[in-house]
Structure 1
Amino acid sequence: MSKIRAVIVDPNVLGCLALSEVAAPKYRQRYHAAQRIYFAESNPVQYANALLKNNSLADPILFFRANHLS
């Protein structure tokens, strides 16, 4: 799903077909790398009040932090 969104948002970079052999590596290179940098530098989990684990779209899990630092 996120590959399709990426192609809609940024078609000039990724090309017109999200699941094509050309677009998929470009997607991984650009968006996955950026996400890894963001998580490494910002540690957003530390500041989150809630976390959504959606590895399984049919069975998402929502976690709430009991004692969150403001």
Structure 2
Amino acid sequence: MVTTAIKYTVIKNKDQYNEYCDQLERLLSENHTDQVQDEIDLLTLLIEKYDEDNNTFQETDPITMLRS
């Protein structure tokens, strides 16, 4: 049985988040083969999930924000 190391995992901390963001930037600057596009898609998904789970900003009503 051949085992394959997982290249990316669910983001657990800010350092890992920053590392994945840097990796995504590098990939976006390359030619997009199908394999590279799959990596871009996966990293984007993982980064968006981390952002969603760790968003400390509260949704503010636009009118309230303008008044402040």
Bucket of the pairwise TM-score, normalised by the shorter protein: 0.3 to 0.5
TM-score by length of 1: 0.41
Rg larger in structure: 2
TM-score by length of 2: 0.42
More helix by share: 2
